[in-house]
Amino acid sequence: MLGTREQRLKEPLPPRGVRIALYAALFLLGGLVSLFGAFVQTVWPPVGLLLTLVATAALFYAGLRATGTKLGAGVPLAGWFVVLMVLLAPRQEGDLVLEASVTSYLYLFLGAVAGVVCATLPTRSGFGFGVPPAEPRQAVRNGRP
């Protein structure tokens, strides 16, 4: 799992069926991390925020590494974001899950940044679903291929 960048990029991709199952699980895990993070960062202000950000970034990176695709980081980010949008909506009673506080804003902003950073890291495949890119062409020298 660990190693140089070149070693990690040469690892084989999981089969397509496994990747699709991983995407579904990662979406649900992204929602769960978002739900738990919304409460943990509020309950333990400085430490809870750090815990939630570490858990969020770890999930996004784990999705990237497990699937070998950029979509592996984007799917849990989507699940994370969907649940946060629900939690940000005010209820009829006037209650809010995420209040307007510095820690809530930091959780939203830094969690989204972590997802975008993980989604832009190099992967084993240049495409979202892990279709291997075409073989590189040889350089053209002196007008001949």
Domain boundaries, the chain: 14-119
String of DSSP letters for the chain: --S-HHHHHTSPPPPHHHHHHHHHHHHHHHHHHHHHHHHHHHHSHHHHHHHHHHHHHHHHHHHHHHHSSTHHHHHHHHHHHHHHHHHHSPPTTS--SS-SSHHHHHHHHHHHHHHHHHHTS--S-SSTT-PPPPPPPPPPBTTB-
pTM comes to 0.78
Q: What is the pLDDT of residues 53-99, one digit of tens each?
A: 999 999 999 998 888 888 889 999 999 999 998 888 877 776 777 77
State the pLDDT at residue 145: 55
State the pLDDT at residue 139: 52
Q: What is the pLDDT of residues 9-46, one digit of tens each?
A: 777 788 888 999 999 999 999 999 999 999 998 888 88
Q: Are 87 and 39 in contact (CB under 8 A)?
A: no
State the pLDDT at residue 129: 46
Which pLDDT band, with edges at 50, 70 and 90, does 144 fall under? Answer: low
* Residue scoring higher pLDDT (33 or 130): 33
State the pLDDT at residue 30: 96
